[in-house]
Amino acid sequence: MQVELLYHTPDPERAIATAARLCYAPVGASELMETMPPERVKSVLSTIMGSGHFSTLEHASYTFAVDGVSRALTHQLVRHRIASFNQQSQRYVKFKGEIPVVKPATVADNAETSALFDEAIECVTRAYRTLVEAGVPAEDARYLLPNAAETKIVITMNVRELLHFFELRCCNRAQWEIRNLAWKMLELARPTAPYIFADAGAPCVHGTCPEGKMTCGNPFPRVDRATLDQ
């Protein structure tokens, strides 16, 4: 899996603070953006994050390029509807040679199950190539392709949705592949807006676990946002 932060709103914390401060300021947003001192920016962000008034977080967005993940992952990913996605098309891209796949460790760690997996992928690959060579359009031959097939996708989310995504997918109970993706995205986003993303992640990082009896029993270290305001 390769994850790259392609672009984000410049100075996202200042942009968000500016949008929030505009509601109560006699001057325009452009003047606020230029003149608000850093301590005021942090004060406004503290109010936003503490009060739960997260609409202003939607004014900053992040775009990630993701390669080497499975279709199983992207089927979960696109359920996050407040986001934009562009994915490599199996309709227009004809696979030549081997079809790259993602093999779960639970399969790869056992010689017998790994061989069975490889055999199934080889069978699908051979059938796919035969269909394409017979003139079947790639958009129809792709019906054979497995969830394991590798894909590439570009993701854009605003900060509010990113925090929601991290809360759901950084959790130990999330499926392993999308959990790995979420943590990689968080590692890239956090340095760009360290205050906003300080307690991002699974719910146990900033609150209580909502899983009840299904809890993993292994919470992540708690981040106390109050200490960040000192």
CB 190 within 8 A of CB 142: no
Q: In the prediction, which pLDDT does 109 show?
A: 96
- For residue 200, the one-letter residue type is A
173 is in an annotated binding site: no
Compute the distance between CA of residue 113 and CA of residue 109 in angstroms, rounded to an integer.
8
What does the H/E/C string look like for the chain?
Answer: CEEEEEEECCCHHHHHHHHHHHCCCCCCHHHHHHHCCHHHHHHHHHHHHHHCCHHHHHHCEEEEEEEEEEHHHHHHHCCCCCCEEEECCCCCCCCCCCCCECCCHHHHCCHHHHHHHHHHHHHHHHHHHHHHHCCCCHHHHHHHCCCCEEEEEEEEEEHHHHHHHHHHHCCCCCCHHHHHHHHHHHHHHHHHCCCCCCCCCCHHHHCCCCCHHHCCCCCCCCCCHHHHCC
**CA distances (Å), 95 to each of 58, 76, 91, in order?**
38, 23, 10
The predicted pLDDT at position 29 comes to 58
How far are the Cα atoms of 31, 63, 147 from residue 152, in angstroms, in the given order?
40, 14, 13
What is the predicted pLDDT for the residue at 140?
Answer: 96
Query: Has 43 been labeled as part of a binding site?
Result: no
pLDDT at 146: 95
Look at residue 24 in the predicted model and tell me its pLDDT: 58
Q: From the first residue on, what is the mean pLDDT of each consecutive set of 10 residues in the chain (230 residues)?
A: 97 89 61 75 88 90 97 95 94 88 97 97 95 95 96 97 96 96 98 94 90 88 80
User: Is 93 annotated to bind ligand?
Assistant: no
| 129 annotated among ligand-binding-site residues | no
State how far the Cα of 132 lies from the Cα of 148, in Å rounded to an integer: 20
What domains sit in the chain, N to C, each tagged with a CATH number?
2-85+151-227 (3.30.1360.170), 100-148 (no CATH)
Residue 230 annotated in ligand binding: no
Annotated binding-site residue? 91: yes
Residue 207 CA to residue 159 CA, distance in Å, equals 19
Q: Is 53 annotated as a binding residue?
A: no
Say if residues 17 and 44 touch (Cβ distance below 8 Å): yes
Q: Answer yes or no: 14 catalytic.
A: no
| Residue 49 CA: distances (Å) to CA of 27, 45, 113, 129 | 23, 6, 47, 53
Active-site residue, from 14, 21, 71, 169: 169
How high is the pLDDT of residue 230? 63
At position 175, the amino acid (one-letter code) is: Q
* 77 has binding-site annotation: yes
For 154, phi and psi rounded to 5 degrees?
-110, 135
pLDDT for residue 31: 62
Q: Could you tell me the two tokens for 94?
A: 């004809």
Measure the CA–CA gap between 209 and 195, rounded to whole angstroms: 22
